[in-house]
Structure 1
Amino acid sequence: MNKTLNCYSFILFILSGFLFSCSNSKASFGANESSTDSSIVVDTFSEFPPEIEGCSCYFSSNKSDFESDQYIYVDDYGSNAFVSINGEMKSFSLSNSQKVADDHFIKTWISEDFEISLDYKQVGQVEETWQQKGTMRIKSKKGKEVVKEFYGECGC
């Protein structure tokens, strides 16, 4: 009887090990899947939203994309900005704006799901446009973050 009890205990121990290893595997897969779904992908666009008229700032990932009209960011030189994230054009409202120096600016924009921080400097001027270079940091409310360098201009 004692040997039978030990045998059953051993089999139960082995089976419970398999059971827990399978359930941990599924939990791990689910966690990886959700982190992939919540990643931040900044898309390019070539047409501005209808809310953008007149003076504006518009930025691209680099000078080549800028010259090809492939933008990652646009604002109305006021309180509204737009960025295409994960295939969807997102609207942002200005939260904070500071002029660090004559040619250095930091702006923070917020939406329901994201916060954008722009840190940029003026690197040139052509007629009524001012060329800018800087970084854009996008944070999701789920804790994901992406930082992109940009080149673009502001003007009328």
Structure 2
Amino acid sequence: MANGNGTRTTPVWYRLAQPNDHLRALWGRGVDRTRWVAFGRAWDAVAISPMALGLQALVAMRVGPRRGYPVLADHLRDQLYVLVPPGTGSAAAGLPGVRVLGAGFQLLMPTTEHGTLVAHWVSPPSSASSPLVRPDRLAHHLRALTAAAGREAAAS
């Protein structure tokens, strides 16, 4: 993406999702913890693989991490977990690279700010009432991105 000076900048979501040396050192020491959290009550999750596809969708949606949209990364599996209101994740079901985690599913979540390699807060919830991504908008942008990738692949 170009900024006002014409130089390329990395979107914020990508910078937040990229582990840095400090995070790797914390993960290596094993000081941060995770816990299993059940879905279906406070939120559902849309699991997107590869992670870059989910990050592209968040950038395209123009939702900013500063508002506290809860988004998790599993760097080992290259998956992004976007938390959505409970019972609404099915709006993204059936899309390539997407799984919906609702009632009956659990996911490892960080108990600290940084988490671990498999449960890293890209954007932690800012409060108990943090906004959740609208799954219909997320699905719309994921569809558009996968369609564009399909057109590019067919053209090459």
Q: Is the helix fraction higher in 1 or 2?
A: 2
Taking structure 1 as the reference length, the TM-score comes to: 0.29
Greater relative contact order, per chain length (Cα 8 Å cut-off, separation 6+): 2
Which has the greater radius of gyration?
1
